[in-house]
Structure 1
Amino acid sequence: MHRELYIGVMSGTSMDGVDTALVAIEDNRIELLAHDDFPMPPELKQRLLAVCTGQPTNLIEIGTLDHQLGLLFADAVDALLEKSGYTADQIRAIGNHGQTVFHQPTGTTPFTMQLGDAHLIATRTGIDTVADFRRKDMALGGQGAPLVPAFHKTLFQSSDSSVVILNIGGIANLSVIRPDEPVFGYDTGPGNMLMDFWCQQHTGKPFDLDGQFAQQGKVDDILLEAMLTEPYFSLSAPKSTGRELFNDAWLGQQLANHTASAEDVQRTLCELTAVSIAREVLKFQSGPNPTLLVCGGGARNPLLMDRISALLSDWHVSTTREQGVDSDYMEAMAFAWLAQRRIHDLPSNLPEVTGASRLASLGVVYPA
């Protein structure tokens, strides 16, 4: 397949900005040419958080947010093009994940909702846009998530030992690559989401830079064990989760009738992320040199990385950056790749990961 350029756009559960990645794809080779982090207006973030956490809303607000996000994502693409020196006519397509405001993959009416009008993105940028990646997989009985393991499969290989790629965004998810076995993956639970919320509430800062706030406290073992009884952690895969479960209300329930300093809660939330991840990763240890490659915002938290490394003492723990793949833009790159798969009508889900009944080419094309 000849060389084509794609742009991936990702706004995750943390809502700390819009990541964009411009990649070149030729056959199975993927090269990151440029990337950018476009800010999300604080007022827009707060309105989105209100919807995500179940506060009363209406169709006017949902439609307004959909429109405003479409414009934001288009602006993010334009900023990336200006920064990189490439032009719209050189880009084959945009892959836009959209902003998830609710994800309910189980029950009598499974659904997922991402906002960000792809028609606006396509017409404003002049570039064909692929969006709505998750619902086809769900229509086939899958969770619609995680979708990134399929991309990880093209980037990383396992020889004689397990390779696990761990993305720590708002939610943490992993991809497991083992010799002679299908790729496997799922959401382990909270990543940065609860830590970000608590840090914002008690320091006014959107996230705990370098884990400094958490390092002022100590782990509250009673609180940690109570949090780890959350039923989601014991569910069998395939499984996926998000802010609709791990939110401020969930944390409030955990803290009810429990006294702890703000610093101790922050430190305990960091330990919750580390322990819930490590317990899952250990299930897939095989071979003499098991490797964990970490990407996402959590890879920049030294306290979190130290705790994961300590809990996985028999594993080689590093970031994907050390393997030549920028750890901050892995997911944006993945949605560029997913767009390429859709443009060429190639399968892009992994039924063994999502639980879908069959392979499918995910996404809907919105022509410019």
Structure 2
Amino acid sequence: MQINSAKKKSSYLGLMSGTSADGIDLALVTFDEDNKLEHHASYYQAYSDQTAAKIIALYCAENNNPNNNEIDRAFELDVELAHLFAKAISAFLVQEQLSCDDIVAIGSHGQTIRHRPRVKHPFTLQIGCCQTLATLTNIRVIGQFRRKDMAFGGQGAPLVPAFHQTIFSESVVSNSFVTESAIDQSLIKNASDVFVVNIGGIANLTFLPAMNKLNVIGYDTGTGNALMDDWFRLHNSNSHTHYDKNGDWAAKGKINDDLLRQLLSDDYFQLAPPKSTGREYFHLSWLKKQLSNIKPIRNQDVQATLTAFTAITIVNAIKQHSTDNSNITKVYLCGGGAHNNTLKNLINQQLESESQSKSNKYELLLTSQKGIDGDQLEAVAFAWLAFAYDKKLLSSMPAVTGARKSCTLGTAYFP
């Protein structure tokens, strides 16, 4: 889809490489004078098996001990990924018949390889060198979005709730100056609570309440696809996919109640938000430790249970924040997990069960029903974060991350 010359001046590229380590997502986004965005085109470049293996090896070594030459491997990969990002951007620009001069900036998340929000001196590490990327593409790069929030005492994650609010919120503003009785009652009647659930390697949730935008909540609910992908690869080495496509393998298994209880007993699920996690916490060694505490079960039953585990932790989070209102609560799914039919059906079944037992009613939707492909939502978000940096918009949410104050996220790197 081509964009006209007037809009080229407001074009941003969003770049995302998620915890699933499957590839590079790019999104071309423009903004008008009212800061309204339009998503024009997307591009995806899968990682080779070798690149994916390098990334996954850096998430967490067995028993949490660094492998040999971990620093050397991490920062060589830092530059290697920047070269891969640049090649993908070059191909994307050719596809869209654009040049580097047509792009205001690249908003690059980079590739997270370590996220430690609860150590004595919290830190986060995203690689895919922004300076190398700017130099190779001849386009300014806005990156390292998490660090300023962490400097203000936040967890630096999740990053996208502020963006979700601009796209999905149906809230009716109420505060000390505008009472509920003063708000148009037709607006109240039609407003809905909204949840946006991104199921990547790790699953995260944003809650956008209907009645007060100050109460936006967002955090990582726990594992998304990560454990399911890792377990599938371990036991399906000859598969042409590296994940359980449509959840078909899980569908052939049986949920094991003992294992499910064991997984749900992890301390992470007792933590109150703000909270965030990553694959350096939920990994195969963690899973094997849980399996050692129960009787042996079939591999397919483990997969079925992991799928239920992801669904339950997501729905438990939704139930925790749902308000008692007469409207339907909308739950938008995005990310790779939205393609897993078994997982999606389990989420829907549990929401329907909750609807029957309480007055809350839920509608399970896809973000594509709001005009943004769920596979591209995060890439679009990073284009928005780069735009917010340029416009000096507040793009962090202390209520989400626990930071002391809100700020404009990101750092600029010039060609």
For the superposition of Structure 1 and Structure 2, which TM-score range results when normalised by the shorter chain?
over 0.9
Q: Distance in 1 between matches of 2:270 and 2:338?
A: 25
Deviation, structure 1 residue 292: 0.2
- Is 1:237 the equivalent of 2:273? yes
Which digits, 9 at most, give the CA deviation of each residue in 1:61-117, with x for residues without a partner? Answer: 222111101111111211211222222111100011011010001221100001111
Q: What residue in structure 2 maps to residue 115 of structure 1?
A: 127
CA contact (8 A) 2:193 2:330 kept: yes
Q: Shift of residue 50 of structure 1?
A: 1.4
Give the AA of the match of 1:236: A
**Counterpart for residue 163 of structure 2:** 151
- Matching residue's letter, 2:42: H
Matched, 1:296 2:335: yes
Letter in 2 for 1:105: P
Alpha-carbon shift at residue 346 of structure 1 (Å): 1.9
| Cα shift at 1:149 | 0.4
1:176 corresponding residue in structure 2: 207
- The answer to whether the Cα contact below 8 Å between 1:5 and 1:22 also exists between their aligned partners in 2 is yes
**Higher alpha-carbon deviation: 38-47 or 10-19:** 38-47
1:103 aligned counterpart, secondary structure = strand
In 2, are the aligned partners of 1:51 and 1:57 still within 8 Å (CA)?
Answer: no
Q: Deviations over 1:118-155 (max 9, x none)?
A: 11111111110011110100000000000110100110
Report which stretch shifted further, 237-246 or 204-213. 204-213
In the aligned structure 2, how far is the partner of 1:360 from the partner of 1:152?
17
Whether the 8 Å CA contact 2:152–2:403 is kept in 1: the answer is yes
Give the aligned partner of residue 44 of structure 2. Answer: 37
Which amino acid in the other structure matches residue 221 of structure 2?
A: T
> Which stretch shifts more, 86-95 or 25-34?
25-34
Counterpart of 2:200, as a letter, is G
Q: Say which SS state the counterpart of residue 98 (structure 1) adopts.
A: strand
Q: Shift of residue 28 of structure 1?
A: 3.1
The residue that corresponds to 2:234 in the other structure is 201
Q: Which residue of 2 is the match for residue 339 of structure 1? A: 386
Provide the rounded CA distance (Å) in 2 between the counterparts of 1:326 and 1:28: 20
Query: How many percent identity over aligned positions?
Result: 43
For 1:250, which of 281, 286, 304 is the aligned residue?
Answer: 286
Number of the residue aligned with 2:67: 56
Once the 2 structures are TM-superposed, how far is the Cα of residue 322 of structure 1 from its aligned partner?
1.4
The answer to whether the aligner puts 1:92 opposite 2:104 as a matched pair is: yes
SS at match of 1:63: helix
The CA deviation string for residues 12-39 of structure 1, in whole angstroms up to 9 with x for no partner, is: 0000111111111223311111101111
Amino acid at match of 1:231: D
In the other structure, the counterpart of 1:221 is 257
Show the counterpart of 1:306. 345
Question: What is the deviation of 1:157?
Answer: 2.0
Q: Which amino acid aligns with 2:348?
A: S
| C-alpha distance in 1 between matches for 2:223 and 2:299 | 18
Q: Which residue does the alignment assign to 2:314?
A: 277
1:25 matched to 2:31? The reply is yes
Q: Quick one: distance in 2 between partners of 1:306 and 1:367?
A: 46
Map of 2:247 onto structure 1: 211
- 1:283 to partner: Cα distance: 1.6
Cα pair 2:194 2:210 within 8 Å, conserved: no
**Secondary structure of 1:241's aligned partner:** coil
The DSSP-based 3-state class of the residue aligned with 2:53 is: helix
1:223 & 1:10 partners in 2: Cα distance?
33
Larger Rg: 2
Moved more, 78-87 or 137-146: 78-87
Which one of the candidate residues 174, 194, 201 is aligned to 1:163? Answer: 194
In the aligned structure 1, how far is the partner of 2:105 from the partner of 2:25? 16
Q: State the SS of the aligned residue for 1:226.
A: helix
State the secondary structure of the residue aligned to 1:92: strand
How far is the alpha carbon of 1:41 from its aligned partner? 1.9
When normalised by structure 2's length, the TM-score is 0.86
| Partner residue in 1 for 2:186 | none
1:161: Cα distance to partner?
Answer: 2.5
Match of 2:10 in 1: 4
Q: Matched residue of 1:290: which SS?
A: strand
Q: Please give the alpha-carbon distance, in whole angstroms, between the structure 2 residues aligned to 1:184 and 1:247.
A: 26
Paired position in structure 2 for 1:259: 296
Query: In the aligned structure 2, how far is the partner of 1:98 from the partner of 1:203?
Result: 29
1:5: Cα distance to partner? 0.7
Alignment of 1:69-80 (within 5 A): 69-80=81-92
Q: Partner of 2:150: helix, strand, or coil?
A: helix
Q: For residue 345 of structure 1, report the CA deviation from its aligned partner.
A: 2.2
TM-score normalised by structure 1 residue count: 0.97
- Structure 2 residue runs of 5 or longer lacking an equivalent are 1-6, 172-190, 356-361
Amino acid at match of 1:308: I
1:362 alignment partner in structure 2: 409
